Amino acid sequence: MTAPPEVATVKIALVTDTYIPQVNGVTTVVRRQVELLQRAGAAVSVIAPAYPGDNPADEVPTLRARSAPFPPYPAIRFGFAPPGRVARFLDAQAPDLVHVVTEGPLGLRGRRYALRHGLPLVTSYHTHFPRYCADYGVPKLEPAVWRWIAWFHRAADLVHTPGDEACEALRARGVTQAVVWGRGVDTAFFRPNRRDLAWRAAVGLAPDDVLILHVGRLAAEKNLGVLSEAWKLVHEAFAGRAHFMFAGEGPEERRLRQEMPWARQLGFLGREALAHLYANADLCVLPSTSETCGLVALEAMASGLPVVAADAGGLRESVVSRGTGLLVRPDDAGALAAGIVELALRRNYRQALAEGARRAVLPRDSAREDRELLNQYQSLIRPPVTEAA
C-alpha cells in the first residue's frame, strides 16, 4: 500500500465508545484504522473506555475513560470523561483531524472538541440504533433516536457508514455528506485453506456432517428468537448429522443455552480462532434485520462459507441469493430453516455457493479501502495558511 506522502506528517485522533479488548464490528474497524495510520507513519491517538480487569497495553497515546455497564447489555460499557480531561489530552496530541467513531458519551466529547477548535470532523454510523428500539421494547422512541443520530452527524465534514442502505437512510435525514466506507475485509487472513479435517473430527463431526455457525453478539437485536426456532427445526430434521455452534457473548446466552442445549456456545473468540472456525464450518446463519453492513457475513464469505441471511439491511447488500448464499424472508423461522436444510442436503450446491462467496468478496479486500481512507483524511486536513511575504 502506498500512502499519500502528506499522511506521514498528520495527526489523527480517534474517539470511540467501544474498543479493545471488546470484539465487535466497530472495534475491528477502529483497530484496522489505528494499524493503517501507524503503517502510514501518521501520528494517531485514541480516546476509549477502560474495561474491568486487565486492558491490553495501548500501542499509541490513549486516554482510557472510566466506564459503566449499559443496563440492558452489561457487556457494553459507556465511557465517561470530564470535558477538561478530554480537552487536555487532545491539546497535548494537537490533532489535525478528529474521527468520532460512535455516538456515545465519549463520541460527544470528541465531536464537541473538534467543532470548538475548528478541526475537520469525520464521524461513523456503524450501528442502526434507531431500529434497536423495537428489539428492546421501546418502538415509540425510534423517531427521537433518528433525530439524535441526524443531529450528531450533520456537523461532520464526512460521515462513514458501511452500507448503501444505511448511507441512504442518513442522507434522507439531511446527512448529505454520508459515504460508504468500512466494509472491507482482510481476504488474506480470512481464507478457506484454514480448513482442518482433524479439528472437525476432534469436535465430533463425521465426514458428511454439517457444521452450522452463528457469529455475533448474543443480543436481542440479532433476531435470535428466529434463529432459535429455525435451528430447532433443522436439529429435529437431521437427527445428529447437523452440528450447531455460536461464537459470541451477550445477554441472550443463558436463554439460548436453555432452548438449545445441543448447540455449542463458544463464547468470545480471538481473531485467529474465529478465522479457523469460519473455515471449518459449512455455512453461516445470520437472521438479523438491522445490520448496516454485516461484517460477519463478509468474513464468512472470505473464508469460503455460504451465508443464509435475512433479506434486509446490509446483509442484502453483501449476500447474493443463489450466488453466494441464500436470502430468506425476514423474521420467518420456517424460511430460515428451509434455507439451511437446502444447503445442508445439497453438498455440491453448497460448495458452489462457497466458491462464489469467496470470489464475490475478493473485490472488497480492505487494502483498497485503506488507501481511500488515507486520501479522505488528507483531503479534509486544511493546509496551513501562509502569510504573504
Whether pLDDT at 387 is above 70: no
CA distance 309 to 39: 35
- Please, are residues 70 and 77 in contact by the beta-carbon 8 Å criterion? yes
Give the DSSP H/E element, type plus range, for residue 139: none
pLDDT in tens, 9-63: 799 999 999 998 887 889 889 999 999 999 999 999 999 999 987 667 889 999 9
Give the angle subtended at the CA of 271 by the CAs of 337 and 17, to the nearest 5°. 95
Q: Residue 182's pLDDT is what? A: 87
Determine the pLDDT at residue 386: 46
Is pLDDT at 8 greater than 80 in this prediction?
A: no
Does residue 389 surpass a pLDDT of 50? no
CA distance 55 to 78: 15
Nearest to 210 by CA among 308, 321, 327: 308
pLDDT in tens, 291-309: 888 889 999 999 999 999 9
Whether 283 has a pLDDT exceeding 70, the answer reads yes
**Residue 250 one-letter amino acid:** G
Domains contained in the chain, CATH given: 5-184+365-380 (3.40.50.2000), 192-363 (3.40.50.2000)
Residue 255: the pLDDT is: 96
Cβ atoms of 300 and 151 within 8 Å: the answer is no
Are the CB atoms for 339 and 308 separated by under 8 Å? yes
Q: What is the largest CA-CA distance in the chain?
A: 84
Torsion of CA 257, 258, 262, 266, to 10 degrees: 10
Strand order of the β-sheet with 43-49 is: 73-80, 62-70, 43-49, 11-15, 97-100, 121-124, 158-161, 178-180
Distance in angstroms (rounded) separating the CA atoms of residues 280 and 210: 10
pTM attached to this predicted model = 0.87
The tens digit of pLDDT for each residue in 55-76 reads: 678 899 999 999 998 776 676 7
Check: CB of residue 373 under 8 Å from CB of residue 36. yes
Give backbone dihedrals phi and psi of 170, rounded to 5 degrees, phi first.
-70, -45
Average pLDDT, the chain: 92
Cα–Cα distance measured from residue 68 to residue 61, given in angstroms and rounded to the nearest whole number: 22
Task: Report the run of H or E that residue 296 belongs to, with start and end.
Answer: helix 295-302
- Joined together, the cell numbers standing for residue 87 give 480537552
pLDDT in tens, 222-273: 999 999 999 999 999 998 899 999 999 888 999 999 999 999 999 989 889 9
Q: Is the pLDDT reported for residue 5 higher than 60?
A: no
The residues, ordered by sequence, that sit 6+ positions from 286 with a Cβ below 8 Å of its Cβ are 214, 216, 294, 296, 297, 307, 308, 309, 310, 315
